[in-house]
Amino acid sequence: MGKDWVVWLGCISLFGAGAIWGAVPIGTEFFTVENIHDLAEIVGALATAIAVCLAAAGINAWRIQTVATSDHELARRAAVILERYKFSLYRGWEYADYLVFNMEHELGKGGITQKALEEAKDRLNELEMTKSQTHSVALECRAIWGEDVWELFERAFWLDDKCRYCIGLYLRWVQVDDLERNRRSYASVASQIFREVKLAAGKDTDSVNAYIDRSISHLSIAVRNKFLR
């Protein structure tokens, strides 16, 4: 639509310039070339004007190609990180669901093994690292492509944020030296968060995986539209 507007504006401008030029009286001697030196100057001036126009067109084409190449590179990186992030969301939800279930049924309330504790910490660190990498690319996309793509990223971040928060609550809940009322509060908050997750994403693995696929697929389509064709 924008290109059509520019074309119509150019046509109208050319028509107006022609009308003005046609109204200017020009004597027949205007087109008379007195000597070969004048002819050379005219040809040189025309050649310079043509060269300037060609250079301007070349610069414009170079700018368009540079922007397209930059968009393609950013889109490629975003597409790769999104595939990794989707897998991270699957694992994150599954693990958070397992830990919230333990809190609700007080499994591990008396403490857990050091190995299980380290596993929970490692899982949380992995999720946070993947989220950090994805968020960094998302900020680049927002700066280059605007708020629409950022909103799609935020939708994908919602489930991840909820799961990571629940894992963090579990790590506090399993600390046997914590006050009992604090432990009850951690379990209550985690249960409330996962009720929200189940309402939005589903209660079983298939439903949640489908929700994650939908969230990432909308974003992937927006990213792949930036690829060079």
Write the DSSP assignment of 96-150 as a string of letters: HHHHHHHHHTTTTTT---HHHHHHHHHHHHHHHHHHHHHHHHHHHHHHHH-HHHH
Cα first-last separation, the chain: 20
State if pTM tops 0.75. Answer: no
DSSP code at position 174: T
Cβ partners under 8 Å of residue 126, min gap 6: 88
* CA gap 87, 197 in Å, rounded: 18
Would you state the pLDDT for residue 52?
Answer: 56
pLDDT at residue 192 above 60?
A: yes
Question: Among positive and negative, which fits the CA dihedral 80, 81, 86, 92?
Answer: positive
In three-state secondary structure terms, 177 is: coil
Domain definitions of the chain by residue range: 65-224
Would you state the pLDDT for residue 29?
Answer: 52
Q: Specify whether the CB–CB gap between 194 and 102 falls below 8 A.
A: no
pLDDT at residue 68 above 60?
A: no
Q: Of the ranges 37-41, 47-51, 62-66, 207-211, which one carries the lowest mean pLDDT score?
A: 62-66
* CA gap 8, 192 in Å, rounded: 59
pLDDT at residue 3 above 70?
A: no
Confidence of residue 180 (pLDDT cuts 50, 70, 90): confident
